[in-house]
């Protein structure tokens, strides 16, 4: 029997290259926050093309490539500074759904 939803909260430090974050489930919705600078929120929803995301700074922009990809056990990050800037700490919130 599947759970109605699962969620996870955590952090990672950007390294400027691709990374994978293991959650144990595939998120339906993911929020990333650049804690180091406190300046940027990035959103990704299941159904968006892999490697893309929506980023909010002072204006909303679309990450065209090297953003976020959801997978069966968590998510992967590309090298875009919005989601994986070197030496910046990012917080995340992920939620699954049926």
Is residue 44 domain-resident? yes
Q: H or E stretch including 82?
A: helix 81-84
- d(Cα 83, Cα 76) in Å, to the nearest integer? 10
Is residue 81 domain-resident? yes
Q: What is the extent of the structural domain holding 33?
A: 7-95
pTM: 0.68
Query: Alpha-carbon dihedral of residues 46, 18, 7, 98, nearest 10 degrees?
Result: 30
12 or 68, higher pLDDT: 12
pLDDT in tens, 40-69: 888 888 888 887 777 776 555 667 677 788
The pLDDT value given to residue 4: 77
Is residue 2 domain-resident? no
Is residue 29 domain-resident? yes
pLDDT band for 10, please (50, 70, 90 cuts). Answer: very high
Is residue 1 domain-resident? no
User: Two tokens at 59?
Assistant: 């204006």
Query: Alpha-carbon dihedral of residues 9, 67, 35, 74, nearest 10 degrees?
Result: 10
């Amino acid at each position: 029997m599947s759970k109605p939803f699962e969620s996870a909260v955590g952090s990672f430090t950007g390294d400027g290259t691709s990374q994978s974050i293991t959650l144990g489930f595939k998120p339906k919705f993911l929020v990333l926050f650049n804690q180091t600078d406190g300046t940027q929120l990035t959103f990704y929803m299941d159904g968006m093309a892999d490697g893309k995301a929506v980023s909010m700074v002072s204006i909303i922009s679309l990450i065209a490539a090297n953003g976020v990809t959801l997978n069966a056990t968590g998510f992967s990050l590309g090298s875009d500074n919005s989601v994986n800037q070197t030496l910046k700490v990012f917080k995340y919130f992920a939620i699954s759904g049926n």
